[in-house]
Structure 1
Amino acid sequence: MKTLVTESVPSGPEGGYPAVVQALRIRGGRPLRGTVDVKGAKNLATKAMVASLLGATESVLRDVPDISDVQVVRSLLEVHGVTISDDGEGVLRLDPSGAVSAHFEEIDAHAGASRIPILFCGPLLHLLGQAFIPDLGGCRIGDRPIDFHLDALRSFGAIVEKLPSGIRLSAPNGLHGANIDLPYPSVGATEQVLLTAVRAKGTTELRNAAIEPEIMDLIAVLQKMGAIISYEPNRVIFIEGVDDLKGYDHRCIFDRNEAASWACAALATDGEIFVAGAKQQEMLTFLNVFRKVGGDFDILEDGIAFRRGAELKAVTVETDVHPGFMTDWQQPLIVALTQATGESVVHETVYENRLGFTRALVQMGADIVVHPEGIADPARRVPRRALEQAAVINGPTPLHGADVVVPDLRGGYSYVIAALAAEGESTVRGVDIIRRGYEKFLDKLSALGADFDVVA
């Protein structure tokens, strides 16, 4: 058994690195070894921050990651009059008592590439009777239509007006409970319904809801605020609207996406990484695949240690909504699969453009063929979806350095890990997007022994 190095990652702001990083020059071929700490999940923290708008008193959110998506939501809340203080240790205090309507130029200026403004609609309609959504950004990994959101808001009684600059919503008669059946268990649409239904008049029944751990944690936040929410088998959630909600005090669930990313980095570089804060229950599906590939892990009270256990083996993976294998996990896993013996297949069933990042891996020496319309497989368990794709990875193939440009958040992380696993020097451009979802990313790479230079 390999000895686990337990050097800790520096605390505080990213030590000595510029605020904006254009590129990394990475010299690969060195295993990553050490400890990284994961804080609260991006996909919970940002939504819990929005939920603070619903409370009549101050909310306290703990273990908030220091990432750009959190800063975007903070800016949007402050534009709407929410007072926010930060203790510098991941604790935010959010006071909505001064909430006001904001002009669309301010919202647009602060939203940036984030798609989070759509989730402000329900709380703002309750609070102010109106809301505005600018053109939405986000990673270019496929269509994320907001129709699910708008249809749900219309069901609650909102009036939706599409304008050249965005979408204006109003609720002159208030919002009421609704029966909503989502055509797909969308995480964002489920969050929209929860954030809107908790103060709508009457009861809301949501069918085909997303049930990700971050959704369950958001329900816990809302229940602390005074909401009445129950869920049943088969993705059914009931929300009984209440007149008033109070603030909450809540510690975010850990970021399982970041935990899985570092686990895949250990596989790809033949290193060993202890992910402090990771928990078994929320990662059961990932851990099963990790073991099938040939990875090994130790589950401890305060985290999980990841390493290669043997020669890496080919696997077939199908992404799906929870409790399936997350789409966010497949990109870093594909990097590791380039070093596995045999033919691996990854069926991407959630986003139609999420395999485009593999072109750069091919440039680095990987043998990957993407099938734009998916491929037939009689052993499939996930229902076939109209826009799915599949990647066939043949390995092992040695990777070599290259000059690549980051396409999106998870793809960008994957490029960095591929460069660290490759022989020679790589330049990875556009890496600043990685800070959207990975706290102190450069500090963590440095503490794990990565050899790189920053291009500001």
Structure 2
Amino acid sequence: MDRIAIHGGARLNGSIPISGAKNSALKLMAASILTDRPLRLTNMPRLADTKFLGRLLQALGVEVTESESGGEQETLFHAREITSTFAPYDLVRQMRASFNVLGPLLARTGHARVSLPGGCTIGARPVDLHLDALSRLGAAIQLEEGYVSAVAPDGLRGAEIEFPFVSVGATEHAMLAAVMARGTTVLRRAAMEPEIGDLARCLTAMGARIEGIDTDVLTIEGVTSLNGADWSVIPDRIEMGSFAVAAAMAGGEVRLTRARAELMTALTEKMVRAGVEVTPTEDGVIVRRDPAVRLRAVDVETEVYPGFATDLQAQFMTLMTLAEGESRIRETIFENRFMHAPELGRLGADIHVHAGEAVVRGVDHLIGAPVMATDLRASVSLVIAGLVAQGETIVDRVYHLDRGFERLEEKLTACGADIRRLKGDE
């Protein structure tokens, strides 16, 4: 199993290109099921998660062709014919977003059998809202032996759906199904994440009729068929935020390119309060910090977009481990998302967790040690801590990182970090 070794102490200076957003790319890939025309996605990230979903799409009959044009990665998806509507456990269990093929399969073929995605280490993420939305759209659903069997022999039909609480996954899934349902669908209390807007705009380019994009009420007028399209995946705001925190932690000056500063406003506001200089540019942001000047403690509470993203909570907690004073990190999205705190403690951080809140008292320095990644965002937080820890930090179980960060070591090394991947028993 691969590990990552980091020798801390180097400042970061240089440029880091931001990849396409994983959380957008996965749902755009699922959208390819809806049409028998080619869907070309550019600015595609090459990640373990996109590979997992690509294999599932191929098993359903979708042709998947990867290429590179002008230095930009693209993938062509062509579902000329859906040859299978069965998504087995062995493929779906590897990555939760695979479950979102259910709605598009129903919309296009009228039936599907898809494995339930299973548990998640960062807390319960049930699919009840997904299934309820599909039921309201006219699907008959049965749960048996860990699978969802769904049929809509007469096609899906529009409906009014009000989610009991904001759910990114359920909003995306309902939209993917509703674009080809007969009549009008209204989604109320819809999530407003940028990745949802990206999916909605791509579907519109394919011929869907969607109003209210970027608001919490989406009105969808169903169409009988969709066309293909060429679409560029939006920049990954979580990768952008993670590297911004890394630059702030290590000190120096890093230019994040191929990015959009407005996608991480909630984070940058907190970073500026902590004493970090963040300057928007035409194609991203510049992050500067003098490591001789100590960071200031800042409180954070995670919220649905446009609030502070739960996917950046671990990274910001890491930044606060060296801040002067006491900061409080409150997690309101996932109940088990403080599993990185004990690992940061192994590096010398002073963190006390009680229920949904962590109290971080800043220390003068961190000391390298072996640590273990527990989930994707925790993984990168430990790498960030290793950038400043005295001595060597070894991060184990980095397969989590490969799910969401493209060429992480290469990007950090280009800015001066002393980081390398250890293969197997190395």
**What's the TM-score once normalised by structure 1's chain length?**
0.88
Identity rate, percent = 40
Under a length normalisation based on structure 2, what TM-score does the superposition of the two structures give?
0.94
What residue in structure 1 maps to residue 159 of structure 2?
Answer: 178
| Residue type of the alignment partner of 2:189 | N
1:56-455 paired onto structure 2 within 5 Å:
56-88=36-68, 89-104=72-87, 107-137=88-118, 139-231=120-212, 235-308=216-289, 310-372=293-355, 389-455=356-422
The secondary structure found in structure 2 opposite 1:33 is strand
Paired residue secondary structure (2:400): helix
- RMSD of Structure 2 on Structure 1 (CA): 1.6
Point out the more displaced range, 220-229 or 131-140.
131-140
**What is the rounded CA distance, in whole Å, between the counterparts of 1:219 and 1:453 in structure 2?**
39
CA 1:302–1:233: 2 relative to 1, 3 Å: closer
CA distance in 2, matches of 1:200, 1:103: 21
Distance 1:103 1:326 in 2: 34
**1:417 alignment partner AA:** I
Classify the secondary structure of the residue corresponding to 2:294.
coil
- Write the deviation string for residues 386-445 of structure 1: whole angstroms up to 9, x where unpaired: xxx111111134111111111000100111111121011121100121011111112112
State which drifts further: 184-193 or 113-122: 113-122
Hey, what's the Cα distance between the residues in 2 that align with 1:417 and 1:321?
24
- Measure the CA separation in 2 of the matches of 1:54 and 1:234: 24
Tell me: CA distance 1:161–1:323, structure 2 relative to 1, closer, same or farther (3 Å). same
Deviation at 1:219, TM superposition (A): 0.8
Counterpart of 2:398, as a letter, is: V
CA distance in structure 2 between the partners assigned to 1:274 and 1:139 by the alignment: 34
Q: Deviations over 1:136-155 (max 9, x none)?
A: 15751111011110111111
- Decide whether the 8 Å contact of 2:60 with 2:86 is kept in 1: no
Contact 2:36/2:81 (CA < 8 Å) preserved in 1?
A: no
Given that residues 25 and 428 in structure 1 are in contact (C-alpha distance below 8 angstroms), is that contact kept between their aligned partners in structure 2?
Answer: yes
Q: What runs of 5+ residues in structure 1 fail to find an aligned partner? A: 1-20, 373-388
User: Is the CA contact 2:7–2:392 (under 8 Å) kept in the aligned structure 1?
Assistant: yes
**More divergent stretch after superposition (363-372 vs 123-132):** 123-132
User: Are the equivalent residues in 2 in contact too, given 1:83–1:98 (CA < 8 A)?
Assistant: no
Q: Work out whether residues 366 and 397 of structure 1, in 8 Å CA contact, stay in contact via their aligned partners in 2.
A: no
Q: Find runs of 4+ consecutive structure 1 residues off by over 3 angstroms.
A: none
Cα distance change of structure 1 residues 138 and 448 upon mapping to structure 2, 3 Å threshold:
farther
Return the alpha-carbon distance in structure 2 between the equivalents of residues 113 and 404 of structure 1. Answer: 23
Looking at structure 2, the residues matched to 133 and 271 of structure 1 have their Cα atoms a distance apart, in angstroms, of 48
3-state SS in 2 of match to 1:421: coil
Residue 302 of structure 1, CA deviation? 2.2
Counterparts of 1:191 and 1:212, CA distance in 2: 10
The amino acid of 1:402's aligned partner reads A
- Whole-Å Cα distance in 2 between the matches of residues 132 and 209 of structure 1? 26
Preserved contact between residue 38 and residue 77 of structure 2 (Cα < 8 Å): yes
Whether the 8 Å CA contact 2:130–2:170 is kept in 1: the answer is yes
